[in-house]
Structure formats: structure tokens, C-alpha cells
A and B are shown apart, each in its own frame.
Chain A
């Protein structure tokens, strides 16, 4: 059916803003990544792939940053997925209690990252914090720590905060996935005398694969892109032990004004994220299960 040409006007306002404030800056980032622009002066020089070379060979902090990102991501993905799935299985049925609990577990998701950062900075506070106080109280005072000030564990303290923040959201995705599994399949399993574990292994788990893929992929990207919590809780310290790519880009761009170099790092960052996202879409397509 022929459609009136006026439809093209519908794209106009959104596309215009998107082009100016999103496409243009993103493409420029690619351009500036080959320059030594400082972000302030109007002149800059092309330096070829120098910035990329520096990122991969000369910059030890960048390497550390990638390592921190991977540590953070791995801990969050493994534990958050486990917590979300384990508790989704327990609050699966719709009763008054489980509906209330699901709402409670989801609650942190709606808070701002700055608020969550304050709450957990207080929990981790070496002298006032509830964590050290509780450890003293139960006689484990020797474990008391400067949770955000100790370079060996600060990144894990941040990971725990991230899990507290977002596990509930992932739990809800699992609940939705689990609830979409038809009851008949469980009835069949029951009739055939399958044990609980067999039912989980052969019915729940394969049919849960699509939601599991979504949760794992989303958690991976979310934890890789994390910025706010780190920025507000440790600022990348102590001794760069919690510096991750997103905060590092911010630092080199707006604290040392190396816009060209920061752009190169951000392009590398984008390629990593795009790869993960691409794999997510691929996995989602191949995992579609029909029943």
C-alpha cells in the first residue's frame, strides 16, 4: 500500500538530535583518536596510530585498568548470576510473600548510583562502618579491614556493592523466564518419576537458557561499563587498584586533558563492548528453543 510522503517528517526531530548529539560526537571520537588534541586548543596534529600503540604497549596503567575491569566483571557475573538464579527459583511461585520479597529484592535497582555509593561507603567505613562493627561483635574483629582503602581488596568490595545494586533486576528476569516454562512439562517429569535434580537438569535448565543468556550478557556489559560507583566510592584508588576503563578515560580526558589519547582508549572500549553485544545477539538467536 502506498504511504504518504509525510511519513519522512516523523523521523526528523529524533534523527536530527541523534545526529548532532550522538552520531557526530561518536564519529569525531574515532577521528580525534588519531590526533594529539588536548581538547582546549584549536590546533592539533595527526599522530597516526601512536595513541593506539601507546595504549597497547607503553601504558602500564591501561593494562592494569583492563585487568581490574576483568576482575570486577568476572566476580560480578559469576556471583550475581548465581544469586539471581538461586533466589529466583525460591520466589518463583506467586504468593503474597514471594511477590513482596521480589519487590524488596528489586528495590535497590531504582536508587541512584550515587546514593548506593554513599550507603556502601558507610558500610565499609573502617571505624564507623557496620561491616567492621559486626565482625567485632561476632568475635571476628581480626578480619576487620579498610575495605575501600586496601588495594588488594577494594575492587572486590566494589563488586559486592554492584551485586547488591543489580542482583534483584536479574532475579526478576530469571523469574519471568522460569514462569514461561509450561507447567505440563513439570507434570510430565513428575509422572515419569524424575527427581528434583533431574527435573532441573532436563526441563528447567535447557528452557531457561534464553533468560540465562540475557542475564549473563547484560551483567557482563553492565559491569564492564560501570562508572558511577567507582567514581563516587574510590575514584580509582588506592594506587589505581580500582581504576577501570570508564573512569580511566574520564581521568585522562578531564584531569590531564589528553583528549586524543582518551579518544583512542574509548574507541578500544567501544570495540570490546560492541563485540560482547554482538556475541549476545548471536547467542540469543541460536538459543531460541521452541516447545
Chain B
């Protein structure tokens, strides 16, 4: 019993201490960090790094870019993938099966495979250094997992509902918006959170397609800080906190949904 509790506390500390260090360090000066990396800030908590980061860097711009990319990527992926999932379960023939397999096969392809031709395609289409380009790529690469989860869920909905609506004279669009979508809200919200975390934190595609500061997203901007500030951990950690804040706040309030979404993504992926 004692050993159980002890190990739980140790694991909790292993998570908490690094996070605590991040918060404390972000409120120190770089000199303080070198003198006493683990101590409390000597002159009390300071928020200078925060004001500095917002003044010097175009942090507000990065934040905005991440927000735009994530919101559009998530909502459009959900919209298109739910249309496809609905189509697959209604068709219920070889075309539906073929499309289902075509999309789910995409889950097996690591991003590194399509990355090289995708890069030259983006150059040709003039979609590098563009948020629209990033959004289009995000939608395409998460389509497989979204289609997979949503089709799996919609298959469990009673067929009779759709058939009854058809008899009542509802067209496909009407059944999709009035029946399929409302009933699929649990799996839609789980998928939304999974996609949200994934796109907000994504590094690879911004790294490939964005070089202009005006279009950088937060993870990429953080990586650039690392080059610029190399061992200025107070500044780096201030960036980490600003970049993570929306996720952390959302997690505190919507914890259950986060867990559902991230594990649905893991299990089905």
C-alpha cells in the first residue's frame, strides 16, 4: 500500500517538477538562471520575459497564424471527412468500400514519404509561405484518420433512421445535416480535439513550407527562438508557455473530451 502511494507520488512529481521549472524559469532573468538554475526567482516573480517576447518578437502574429491554421484545418477536415463518412455508409456498395480502403490506407503512409514531392508541388502551386497552403495540406493528411473514426461511428447508427428520412422525402443533404451530424456529435467532438492538438502542435509541415516570419506558426517560431536564444532558457520557456497556454486551458476545462479524443486517435490510428 505504502509502495503504491509512493510510486504514484513519484510519477506525479516526474510530471510536475519539469512543468514547475518551466514556469519558474520563465519568470527569471538569464543571469539568475545561470547562478541558480533550480532556485526561486531572486527578485520575486517577474513578467519581463513575457512583455519582452511580445514586443521584440512578432509573437502575436505567430499566435494568430497558429489559430487560423488550426481552426480552418480542423473544421474543414471534419466537414469533408463527415461528408465522406456519410457517403460511405449510405452507398454501402463496392464504391463505398473502395473509397474507405483508399482513405484508410493513408494512415499507413508516414508524412516523410509524400513530403518530398509534396514540397515541389507546393512550390509549383505557389503555396509555400501561405497559410492556405498549410491548411490544404493539413486537411489532406488528416483526412484518413478522420474518415476512419467517423465512418466507424456512423456505421453504428441505426440504418432505419436514414431509410425513414428518405421515405419522408428528405434528400441526402438534409439527412446529412439533420440526422447524421447531430447523432454523430460525440465522435465529431472527439475527432475535433484530436485534430486540434495535432495541428496546433505540428512542426513538420510549417518547417517544410514556411520560411517567411509573417506566416510562421508557434512550434516553428519556437524552434527559431532556440537558434536565436540558444541557452536563454527563460525566454525559450516563456515562448513554451505562451504556445501551450490555449491547449492547457482547454485541457483543464474539457479534460474528459481531450482524453476521449486523443485515445480515439491513438486506438484507431
Residues in A lying within 8 Å of B, measured CB to CB: 1, 3-4, 6-8, 10-11, 13-15, 17-18, 20-26, 28-29, 32, 39, 83, 86-87, 90-91, 101-115, 118-120, 122-123, 125, 128-130, 133, 164, 168-170, 172-173, 176, 214, 218, 221, 225, 227-228, 231-232, 245-246, 249-250, 253-254, 259, 262-263, 266-267, 269-270, 273-274, 277-278
Contact = CB atoms under 8 A, between A and B. Distances in A.
A10 B150 CA distance: 14
Ranked nearest first, the 9 interchain pairs of A and B with the lowest CB-CB distance are A112-B201, A14-B80, A21-B140, A28-B117, A25-B114, A25-B117, A10-B87, A25-B118, A128-B37
Contacts of A20: 121, 140
B21 A112 contact: no
Interface in B141-177: 141, 143-144, 147, 163, 166, 171-173, 176
Contact of B267 (A105, A108, A173): A173
B54 interface: no
Contact of B83 (A13, A110, A133, A228): A13
Interface stretch (B40-48, B55-63, B182-190, B247-255): B247-255
Contacts of B106: 18, 22-23
Given A169-B263, A176-B263, A225 B110 contact: yes
Interface string B223-239: 10010000101001100
A253 B38 contact: no
Nearest to B225: A118
B190 to A, nearest CB: 13
A133 B38 contact: yes
B83 A10 contact: yes
Contacts of B25: 122
5 contacts: A1-B166, A26-B117, A101-B11, A119-B18, A130-B17
Contacts of B101: none
Given A114-B222, A169-B266, 19 more contacts: A13-B83, A17-B80, A17-B143, A18-B106, A22-B109, A22-B114, A25-B114, A106-B259, A106-B262, A112-B218, A112-B219, A114-B219, A114-B223, A128-B37, A227-B203, A232-B223, A245-B112, A266-B113, A269-B113
Interface string B1-25: 0001001100110111111011001
Given A232-B226, A270-B113, A110 B197 contact: yes
Contacts of B19: 107, 119
Contacts of A86: 7
A11 B83 contact: yes
A172 B108 contact: no
Interface of B: 4, 7-8, 11-12, 14-19, 21-22, 25, 33-34, 37-38, 80-81, 83-84, 86-87, 90-91, 99, 102-103, 106-121, 136-137, 139-141, 143-144, 147, 163, 166, 171-173, 176, 197, 200-201, 203-204, 208, 218-219, 222-223, 226, 231, 233, 236-237, 240, 243-244, 247-248, 251, 255, 258-259, 262-263, 266-267, 269
B266 A218 contact: yes
Query: What DSSP secondary structure best describes chain A's contact surface?
Result: helix
Nearest to A91: B8
A118 B244 CA distance: 13
Contact of B84 (A15, A21, A39, A278): A15
Contacts of B141: 21-22
Contacts of A26: 109, 113-114, 117
Contacts of B33: 128
B7 to A, nearest CB: 7
Nearest to B34: A128
A231 B90 CA distance: 44
A110 B172 contact: no
